[in-house]
A and B are shown apart, each in its own frame.
Chain A
Amino acid sequence: MKINPVVEKELKTTMRGWRAPLLISLYLGFLLLVIYLYFLANDQLYTHGLQSFNPRVAINAFNTLAFFQLLLLLFITPILTGGAISSERERQTLDLLLCTSFSTYKVVLGKIFVSIANILLLITASLPIMGIVFMFGGVEISNLILLFFFYIITALMLGSLGVFYSTIFKKTIVSIVMSYLTIGLLTFGTYIIMALFYFFFDGFRTEPKYHELVAFLFANPLFGFGTVIEETASNSSVFGALVILSKGDFAAKIIIKSWMINLGFDVLFSALLIFLSARRLKHVK
């Protein structure tokens, strides 16, 4: 099997530059800050010692970290992929690639793969920090695996989105901004649309049913995230609210979980974006 030369080249150059170490440092620094502030806010530092350590706090720390990692993913992936094609255009290297017999699918897939690899690197680097909270128990290894699976598929969708915009817009910054707008629409936008719908048509009288939630939120990464952490979130916490927004009812037994629906959407949406990007690259005017 041949390695995709785009992947090989990009991995080589990103690892060589100063960007990768800087990105990892910033990423870990941010997560550490989050966890520090979290323990500070929950009064778990220094004063009481381990005896009075509340395991609930540790589990919520896990959720907090998981949530902030997702936010970082939403924030970083567009930056990683926004320039995938447009930077080649800006650097005038794109024509050199397009005048070859190299498939535009391989270009697009290579770029997305590289962004996922970068995300994986960040997630792996965060493992020791996740491990801190993991140590206190209450979090199963299966929770962690599901979480990482969720991250990777979400990164696939975000990466495809970034590459797609990158094939459309000439300027990297424009494709990054467009990615952010789209992500904003998927996350907060869908909640707002749903809220408006219930405000105008229902006056918030009835609780939304699961299938109604799905209809509004299937594309929302936070909707998927809700059931990823359902086993570690407690009813009364902020994360409990997130779970309720993903299930309709905290205790509801649902077979097709919101994360499955959301990741299913991600995969289909990614396939569409990859198809459109490759076609757009191949299409000459």
Chain B
Amino acid sequence: MLIINNLVKNYGKFKAVDNLSLEIGKGHIYGFVGANGAGKTTTMKIVAGLLKPTSGSVVVAGMDILKYPESYKNKIGYMPDFFGVYDDLKVPEYMDFYAGVYGIEKSQRAKLTDELLELVNLTEKKDFYVDNLSRGMKQRLCLARSLIHNPELLILDEPASGLDPKARVEMKEVLKELKDLGKTIIISSHILPELAELCTSIGIIEKGKMVVSGTIEEIMQKTSQKRVIRVKVLSELEGAVKILKEQPSIGTVNVHNDYLEADFHGTNENMAEILKTAIKNEIPVVSFTEVDRNIESVFMHLIGGEGNEN
């Protein structure tokens, strides 16, 4: 549905997006994760046709967006990170306007508006002026607006930013419904947990470069050959580090306040051996555990620096 190939966007000398490639299959929900300034918005604006790529290609539903700059726009719905509303319009009038912009017949608009407002749970707010909606409601209205022409690909730039926890949950519910409707969605966030349960695939972008990309399983697999052991000791932290480093199955050792984490590639027997050795050497071990590998910790791990190797 969306194929981005070697996308580059320069602002003067600054590379905001650096040779980024990704592919999203039909019906997938793609989480686009990265810290502030990583280049998520820039990438999404290019896909939405609001910025011109310096080089590289973007193909939406089989159409190169540079070759079909107008017609491909009927295939996408875009929700920017920051947006405004026309303050003098009522909710249905707001929807009606954008329906008109997409050339939808007058006769169909009311029904369509009703359906979409129902989808985003704004039916009770029908008589309100757009300006009098809360932030979360405006965000959901904007989402409904981006759906009005029944696009195949949805580009959502931090749809939950600036919302309180309750509104976030509501937004997430709506997104789940869209997922069930079979929409292809690319959704950005700077926090991964927010996306983990929603997404089928994820891409992590850092300084304009794609660090990791793939389905959740792929990412887990790619990173899970490396296991991490966390050891907590009462004292003798240095001694513990020394012993760990002597073990052939241990890689890098990171020392934290009162515990240490070590990359481990070995069998469970090796692991038991390491613990035995530590105790034999009279290291006061409080706990010795394998760090649970969920997608969040993978993310932290990658963002924490080591991901740059990939």
Query: Which chain A residues have a beta carbon within 8 Å of chain B's beta carbons?
Result: 2-3, 5-6, 8-9, 12-13, 16-17, 91-93, 95-103, 284-285
CB-based contact B82/A92 at 8 Å: yes
Return the CB mask of B245-284 against A: 1 if under 8 Å, else 0.
0000000000000000000000000000000000000000
Which residues from B are CB-within-8-Å of A12? 88-89, 93
| Alpha-carbon gap, A93 to B149, bound state (A) | 18
Whether a CB of chain A sits under 8 angstroms from the CB of B40 is no
Closest 10 CB pairs of A and B: A5-B100, A92-B84, A13-B88, A91-B84, A101-B73, A99-B78, A102-B101, A99-B48, A93-B84, A9-B97
Whether a CB of chain A sits under 8 angstroms from the CB of B85 is yes
Given contact pairs A100-B98, A101-B102, enumerate 9 new A-B contacts (beta carbons under 8 Å).
Answer: A5-B97, A12-B88, A12-B89, A12-B93, A16-B88, A93-B85, A96-B98, A97-B101, A101-B74
| Alpha-carbon gap, A91 to B83, bound state (A) | 8
CB-based contact B86/A13 at 8 Å: yes
Query: Which chain B residues have a beta carbon within 8 Å of chain A's beta carbons?
Result: 45, 48-52, 70-71, 73-74, 76, 78, 80, 82-86, 88-89, 93, 96-103, 106, 142, 145, 149
Given the known interface contacts A99-B78, A100-B73, A284-B52, the answer about A92 and B101 at a Cβ–Cβ threshold of 8 Å is no
Given the known interface contacts A284-B51, A285-B52, the answer about A8 and B73 at a Cβ–Cβ threshold of 8 Å is no
Given the known interface contacts A12-B93, A96-B83, A101-B71, the answer about A2 and B103 at a Cβ–Cβ threshold of 8 Å is yes
Q: Please give the distance in Å from A263's CB to the nearest CB on chain B.
A: 32
| Alpha-carbon gap, A99 to B148, bound state (A) | 13
| Alpha-carbon gap, A13 to B98, bound state (A) | 15
Q: List 22 A-B contacts (CB under 8 A).
A: A2-B100, A5-B99, A8-B97, A9-B93, A13-B86, A93-B83, A93-B85, A95-B48, A95-B50, A95-B80, A95-B83, A96-B78, A96-B142, A99-B73, A100-B101, A100-B102, A101-B70, A101-B71, A101-B73, A284-B49, A284-B51, A285-B51
Q: Please give the distance in Å from A241's CB to the nearest CB on chain B.
A: 45
Q: Please give the distance in Å from A21's CB to the nearest CB on chain B.
A: 14
| Alpha-carbon gap, A93 to B48, bound state (A) | 14
Residue of A nearest to B11 (CB): A285
CB-based contact B82/A93 at 8 Å: no
Which residues from B are CB-within-8-Å of A16? 88
Q: Please give the distance in Å from B209's CB to the nearest CB on chain A.
A: 22
Which residues from A are CB-within-8-Å of B51? 284-285
| Alpha-carbon gap, A5 to B106, bound state (A) | 10
| Alpha-carbon gap, A17 to B99, bound state (A) | 23
Other-chain residue from A13, A98, A99 in contact with B89 (beta carbon distance below 8 A): A13
Other-chain residue from B50, B74, B93, B106 in contact with A98 (beta carbon distance below 8 A): B50
| Alpha-carbon gap, A8 to B98, bound state (A) | 11
Interface centre among A6, A12, A98, A99 (most CB of B within 10 A): A99
